[in-house]
Amino acid sequence: MSAVVVNVTVTAAKSAGFLTVYPDGSTMPTASNLNFAAGQTIPNLVIAKVGANGRIALTNGA
C-alpha cells in the first residue's frame, strides 16, 4: 500500500486552526489539508501517502 484515503472532520472547533495529514516518519509539510474557524464543523477528503511503516501522521495546529 502506498497511499490511503481518509476523511478528516473538525466538529465545533474551540478556535481557528488546521489539520495536516502526511506520511509517518517524515517531516510535516507546510501545506494543510483542512483549515477551520472557531465554531466551525467541516470535513475534507484526503489522499495521503503512507510512511515506510504503512502509517500516516496527523497534526492539529490550533
Strand partners, 44: 8
Q: In which band, very low, low, confident or very high, does the pLDDT at 48 lie, cut at 50, 70 and 90?
A: very high
Mean pLDDT of 32-50: 97
Whole-structure pTM value = 0.89
**Mean pLDDT, rounded, for 35-58:** 97
Is the pLDDT at 42 greater than 80? The verdict is yes
CB 61 within 8 A of CB 8: no
From residue 14, give the alpha-carbon distance in Å to each of 10, 39, 43, 44.
10, 6, 16, 18
Checking if the pLDDT of 5 tops 80, the result is yes
Q: What value does the mean pLDDT take over residues 42-47?
A: 98
